[in-house]
Amino acid sequence: MLDRFSLLVLAAALAVPRVASAQDPVDFATQIRPIFADRCYECHGSKEQEGDLRLDDKTLVFHAKKDAWVIKPGEPAASLLVQRINLPKDDVDVMPAEGDPLSAEQIALIERWIKEGATWPDAAPTDAPVHTPTVEVIEITLTPQQVKAVDAAVAKLLERGAVAGPIARDHLALDVNLSLLRPAAGDQEVELLRPIAPALCWLSLARTLVTDAGLAPLAACTKLRRLHLAQTAIGDAGVSHLRGLGELRFLNLFGTKVSDQGLAHLHGLSKLEKVFLWQTSVTDVGVAALQKALPKLVIDRGGYAEEILKVSAELAAAEAKEKAALPDGIVNGKCPVAGKPINPAITLEHEGRKVAFCCADCRAKFEADPAKFVPNLPAKPDAKK
């Protein structure tokens, strides 16, 4: 069930409109690079390289470690770049991280370019306009001593492998992301945030090993606007450290242990605009109390996940029923050639499995070109792992 669920989620994330294939090959210089320059270079260009990723230089995209390429020529679905630009808008890992998502047309164009081989001329032009997103001006005032302490702390975070720097050019407000560290960050790394508390405005601790006690330094981060705690072991005691964050606008608690008791700590955060509570222990009662305290707050409990799980269960039940009804070791209920009900008397052995067909003609077609029809057979058990 978990494997099937994962496949459904991935399929949903990658489902975007496709453009007609009968077009001229996608041109990197005039069609792809302008998208990268407009929406990607701000975080993945010459001045900023979040996650150690640069998209402005061919040699840095297609580097020596081929297994780590975010663009895999000919394989859009296997390319991390495609997976990230197709994530839901509110996902912590969506690209681009700021502003509106890429349009369906832009995504389809990038996918088609990759499918065609991701051709990237060495002499691609470099004069495409670079998009500078509008960023909220956050007033940060630091003493000379604080500036020195902030610089030293940021240097330590960068040395550890964190993404840390101003939220935009010429801003003192800081953005820190500890979610990408390997091995995963923990309380020790969060402790490094204490000196930068007066300037910290955006923070991601998603998928880290931070504990409830480890969130204590956040109590001093009174300028914090955005906080990602998704898929951590944080519970109600951890959320208690957020009670004084009066500037907090966005909070992601997806996949945490937070319950109604933890939600009560958020009632006084009058500027909170959106909170994610999918796969937590909160109840309707706790959510209603939070909504009453903060009437304008958007509370996302991820109800769509319940529908996906329901569909997953129905598919699994139907597959089990079909498999149970198949006679004499046959693996398929429909002819892989014609899609019609099988005749159990017309079969052949293929790669150790007994395959049935609706007629002898279909069996002959399968024998002549099995690779063409094998995708229409049920996946082998190992393929679902």
Phi, psi of 305 (to 5 degrees): -65, -35
- For the beta carbon of residue 25, count every other beta carbon within 10 angstroms: 11
Phi, psi of 286 (to 5 degrees): -65, -40
List per-block mean pLDDT (blocks of 10 residues) for the chain, which spans 385 residues: 41 39 73 86 76 78 79 88 82 79 87 89 55 59 86 86 75 82 86 91 91 94 92 94 94 93 95 92 93 92 57 63 72 88 90 91 93 86 52
**Helix or strand holding residue 190 (H, E):** helix 187-191
User: Residue 321: what pLDDT?
Assistant: 67
Q: What is the β-pairing status of strands 200-204 and 174-177? A: parallel
User: Residue 30: what pLDDT?
Assistant: 83
DSSP 17-51: ----SSSPPPPIIIIIHHHHHHHTHHHHSSS-BGG
- 268: which DSSP letter? T
Nearest in space to 334 (alpha carbons), one of 364, 362, 372: 362
Angle between helices 304-325 and 2-14 (to 10 degrees): 120
**Could you tell me which residues are beta bridge partners of residue 302?**
none
CA 317 to chain centre: 29
In 70-215, the DSSP E strands lie at 163-166, 174-177, 200-204
- For the beta carbon of residue 376, count every other beta carbon within 10 angstroms: 14
Q: What is the β-pairing status of strands 274-276 and 200-204? A: unpaired
User: Residue 288: what pLDDT?
Assistant: 93
Those residues with Cβ within 8 angstroms of residue 56's Cβ, 6 or more apart along the chain or in another chain: 36, 37, 41, 44, 45, 46
- For the beta carbon of residue 241, count every other beta carbon within 10 angstroms: 20
b/e per residue, 260-284, with b = 16+ CB within 10 A?
A: bebbbbbeebeebeebbbbbbbbee
Check: pTM over 0.75? Answer yes or no.
Answer: no
Q: Is 129 exposed, middle or buried (0-12, 13-18, 19+ CB in 10 A)?
A: exposed
Is it true that the peptide bond before 378 is cis, omega within 30 degrees of 0?
no
